[in-house]
Amino acid sequence: MLDRFLDKSLLGYTSLGYRWRPHSTIDADLTGTAAVVTGATSGLGKYTATALAHLGASVWIVGRDRDRTQQAARAIAEQTGNDAVHVEVADLSLMSDVRALAGRLQTPIHILVNNAGVLLPTRSETTEGIETTFATNLLGQFLLTNLLVPKLASSAPARIVNVSSGGMYAQRILVKDLQNVRGTYDGAKAYARTKRGQVILTEMWAEALAPRGIVVHAMHPGWADTPGVSTSLPRFYKLTKPLLRSPAQGADTIVWLCAADEAARCTGKFWHDRTPRPTHRFARTRETAEEREALWSELCRYSGWSGTLESLAENE
C-alpha cells in the first residue's frame, strides 16, 4: 500500500521514498564476473563500480577524462581491496570512440551498465555533427551495446542495465527530431526524450537477446545528489537538496539488477527501488510499433551500425 502511494507520488523519488521501502543487503559473490560501467568517474556510476568491485567483480570503468578515470579507479581499488579495476577512456558521444572502446574490450563481459549521460542547457553538436545529448545518452549507448552483444552472449548468462530517468515519463520519443533541431532547445526535454528512447531499446533488446541468455533491464534512480544534477539543474538542486538521495541510494537498484538472482528471472522491465514500474503514466507518451522500428532505423543510420534486431538474436 505504501509502495503504491510512493510510486504515484514524487515523494517516491526522494530519500524518504528510499528509506520507506525495504532494501535487503546485496550479498552476491561476483568473483569471476567482468563488468563494464560507463560514466563511472563520479555519482551513480562510480558508486555502482565500487559496489560491484566490493562484490568481487573485475570492473572496467569508462570515463572521458583520463586523469579523472584513473583517480576513480585507484579510489575504488583502495576502498574495496579489489585490484581488478581497469581504466578505459572514451567519449561515448563520439561513435569513433565507441567503436574503438568496443574493440579494446577483449575480455568476456558478464555485465554492462550503460550509465553515461549528459543534460546540457544549450544545444551543441559533437565533432561528428551529432547533437550532444542525443549522441551521448542514446546513440552511443545503442552502438556500444550492439557491438558488445557477441562478448555478452559468449559469457551468458549476462546482464545489461540501462540507467534511465523518471523524467522520461513526461516525454515521448520524437523519431523525426532526434537531433533536437525543431523549436527552442530545452535541455531537460531533450534529456528526457533520450531516456524514453533508452526504455524503448531496453524492451526491444530484451526480446531479441533472451534466446542468447542476456537479460536487459532499465531503471530510474529517483532524485540523487550527484555532480550531474548539481551542475545541470542548479535551481532544482537547490530546492530539493534536503530530499535528494545519496549516490548509494540512487545506485542501489542498478547494483541489485547486476547481482541479484531475482533480476535474472525476467527481462525487459523498468525498475525503481527494486520493483518493476509502468513505462508510461500518460497516453500521449506512448509510441507505436512503427515508431519503434523507425527509431531503430534512425539509430543505425546515425551510428553507422548496419545490423538488425534479428541479427542480434542469432548465434555468431
Q: How far apart are CA 253 and CA 54, in angstroms?
A: 16
- The helix or strand, by DSSP H or E, that contains position 238, with its residue range, turns out to be helix 234-240
- Closest CA relative to residue 271, chosen from 203, 207, 188: 203
Tell me the residue length of the chain: 316
Burial 275-306 (b: 16+ CB within 10 A, else e): eebebeeeeebebeeebbebbbebbbebbebe
| 8-state DSSP, 135 | I
Is residue 13 annotated as a catalytic residue, yes or no? no
262 torsion bin: left (phi>0), alpha (psi -120 to 50), beta (else): alpha
Distance of CA 132 to the CA centre of its chain: 16
User: Which residue among 18, 191, 237, 302 is the active-site one?
Assistant: 191
As annotated, the active-site residues are 191
